[in-house]
Amino acid sequence: MLTTMLPLKDKDKPMVQMLLLAGCCARCILRFCCVSVHAAYRQPPQNTLKQLQAFISDTENSKSQDSAVPEPPEDPPSKRAKLEPGVTDAVLERDDEAAAAPAPVVRLEEEEPRVCVVCLGILQDMCGTSQAVKIAEAVKAENYEFDTVVLSVSLPAQLCVREHSCWLHVKKEVREKGLVLDKDDVIQVKEAFKWIMQGLVAKELGGIAVVTKSAFEVGVEFTHPETDADCHFLAAVCHDCFKTTKDKQLVFTRMAVVKALEKIPDFKFLKHYPCPPAQPTSSCSPQDVRCLHGSVFVAGRYNKFCRSLPQTPWVIDGERRMESSVEELIAAPLLAAFRADGFNFSSSGREDVDVRTLGNGRPFAMELLNPHRSRFNRAEMKQLQETINKSSDKIRVRDLQIVTRQAMSRMKEGEEEKTKSYTALIWTQKPIQREDITFIDDIKDLTVDQKTPLRVLHRRALAVRPRVIHSMNARFLDPHHFYLGLKTQAGTYIKEFVHGDFGRTKPNLCQLLKTDTDILELDVESVDVDWPPAIPE
């Protein structure tokens, strides 16, 4: 028996009848009957339709014995009689176009002729092997590297309105029978679509698992311009549910429509919208398949050996200064290797354009957006590091590794408490002797108050920030020059400590040496952040 294949119960019969008459497709009827057996959706919809028709004619046959299932009052004596005209109309339309089509008698049973009033064709001709082939082809064309894939579906917002209308249509009938149909129990179009398509797409992708959570997402989107106006009445009834664009156009997002439908009383809905929904003439249009791979994060440390290289592109009044930057030199080989669409660069602090970063380098992390390749083993990362290092002598990276997004936050944690070490080349106005600067080595944990430096006032708030210089050492060079080593709290402005910034940093080196001093060169010797972990060479 055909009917034994569908997990339907006697109580579903009146609803199946109503939905068939309302113009619902076979799979939508299963949804409203809360059928959660995936296989029921996966079988050809023509079979399901036949089974549903057999199921209700079975009602007719057993009607005399089963008085608990009365006919809906508006039903004709024979449901088949009412069902067939619709079917026949559609077949005739098709025959007008295709003369070579098989005889209508045969097709009558096999065709699912009309666009479904609820799913707008999505669970009919938008849902099957040919659609799966199209999706798989779009994915293959982008040449991503992936083990699993998640299928995401975007449906036109008016589908919710039509679903609601259809639900109201059957709700009354169901309630009269003393049965309960909760709207949340109705299987969603999206769910049914996935149950059908996931396996088909997986097969077309050569057995790749289509799962519910994956870094790689394949998005299919449907639109249905013909019925876009379906949502519009909701704005008049539930005004504050909808936002407007800049040019005062209302935006009917799916979320807003769902919210409005929760608020609107049934009688108001029924006053403004047909129940069941009106018959559409066309199916939904599938939009281009969108592939998106979650970001990959790459971390490491960089050295900067050049005194004319900014950390990030340097643009003044829309005009670019300096042809390159640290982030671009690191990003270019990474973008190429990961085949990513873009990047976001972050680092533990930053150095001025004329400051070198030596020693172990400065920790950085790079978010690579939509990478088409995402798996690199240790040897490949090492190779990639060499590629970066060979590409320029202005920078060098080490400890290059793939990290998680969560691990990246370690870099920014407690940044203020970290220490940094510097070497500065100092000029003194008054001639000095070796003995004049030895006292500097004895200064420990000197707190300096730094009023926001003049050179950064345009981007930082005016404040006095106390900073600690943990230790210093001086190395005599000649009567007007010496090297000053400093170990400081992160965030200390070294240049201002040396020249005093017109008294805005106190105490400063001029006061300590009782002569004007200036800074000629500055190198960062170490950034004491223990992240990312060192990778043995």
Q: How far is the CB of 283 from Zn ion (least distance, A)?
A: 10
Nearer to Zn ion, 45 or 300 (CB): 45
Q: How far is the CB of 98 from Zn ion (least distance, A)?
A: 24
Nearer to Zn ion, 119 or 298 (CB): 119
State how far Cα 424 lies from the chain centre. 45
Q: How far is the CB of 124 from Zn ion (least distance, A)?
A: 6
Map tokens 């999706």 to a residue. 135
Map tokens 């220490």 to a residue. 419
Nearer to Zn ion, 284 or 408 (CB): 284
Closest to 301 (Cα-Cα) out of 38, 29, 529: 529
Out of 125, 352, 354, 518, which one is annotated catalytic?
352
Which is it for strands 444-451 and 517-527: parallel, antiparallel or unpaired? Answer: unpaired
Q: Residue 45 and residue 25: Cα distance in Å, rounded?
A: 8
Binding mask 72-111 for Zn ion (x = CB under 5 A): ----------------------------------------
Nearer to Zn ion, 116 or 241 (CB): 116
The yes-or-no answer on residue 341 being catalytic is no
Nearer to Zn ion, 32 or 531 (CB): 32
Nearer to Zn ion, 168 or 353 (CB): 168
Nearer to Zn ion, 196 or 402 (CB): 196
Strand segments, DSSP code E, in 183-288 are 209-211, 216-223, 243-244, 250-251, 285-286
Q: How far is the CB of 45 from Zn ion (least distance, A)?
A: 9
Q: How far is the CB of 348 from Zn ion (least distance, A)?
A: 55
Q: CB–CB of 98/111 below 8 Å?
A: no
Q: How far is the CB of 244 from Zn ion (least distance, A)?
A: 32
Cα separations in angstroms, 211 against 195, 201, 343 = 11, 11, 27
Nearer to Zn ion, 116 or 388 (CB): 116
Q: Is the link from the previous residue into 479 a cis peptide, with omega within 30 of 0?
A: no
Query: How many C-beta atoms surround the C-beta of residue 344 within 10 A?
Result: 13
Q: Residue 254 and residue 193: Cα distance in Å, rounded?
A: 17
Q: Residue 33 and residue 357: Cα distance in Å, rounded?
A: 68
Q: Residue 81 and residue 505: Cα distance in Å, rounded?
A: 94
Q: Residue 397 and residue 532: Cα distance in Å, rounded?
A: 12
Q: Is the link from the previous residue into 7 a cis peptide, with omega within 30 of 0?
A: no
Which one-letter DSSP state was computed for residue 294? -
Q: Residue 477 and residue 481: Cα distance in Å, rounded?
A: 5
| Interaction of residue 16 with Zn ion, rule CB under 5 A | no
Residues 6+ apart with CB under 8 A from 271: none
Residues 6+ apart with CB under 8 A from 536: none
Binding mask 111-150 for Zn ion (x = CB under 5 A): -----x-xx---x---------------------------
Nearer to Zn ion, 123 or 149 (CB): 123
**What is the Cα Rg of the chain in Å?**
36
Q: How far is the CB of 377 from Zn ion (least distance, A)?
A: 47
**407 burial level (CB within 10 Å; 0-12, 13-18, 19+):** middle
Q: Site for Zn ion (CB under 5 A): how many residues? A: 6
Nearer to Zn ion, 28 or 397 (CB): 28
Q: Residue 80 and residue 17: Cα distance in Å, rounded?
A: 10
Our CA angle for 126, 132, 138, nearest 5°, is 110
Q: How far is the CB of 32 from Zn ion (least distance, A)?
A: 10
Q: How far is the CB of 118 from Zn ion (least distance, A)?
A: 5
Query: How many C-beta atoms surround the C-beta of residue 470 within 10 A?
Result: 16
Q: CB–CB of 414/462 below 8 Å?
A: no
Q: CB–CB of 489/417 below 8 Å?
A: yes
- Give the interface segment with Zn ion, choosing from 21-29, 57-65, 306-314, 375-383 (CB under 5 A): 21-29
Cα separations in angstroms, 343 against 42, 323, 409 = 41, 19, 17
344, β-bridge pairs: 367
Residue 243 in tokens: 């936002």
- From the list 25, 49, 326, 384, which residue makes contact with Zn ion (rule: CB under 5 A)? 25
Binding mask 146-185 for Zn ion (x = CB under 5 A): ----------------------------------------
Binding mask 27-66 for Zn ion (x = CB under 5 A): -x--------------------------------------
Q: How far is the CB of 154 from Zn ion (least distance, A)?
A: 17
Q: Which helix (H) or strand (E) holds 173?
A: helix 158-176
Q: Which of residues 455-484 bind Zn ion (CB under 5 A)?
A: none
Give me the active site residues, please: 352
Q: Which residues here bind Zn ion, judged by CB under 5 A?
A: 25, 28, 116, 118-119, 123
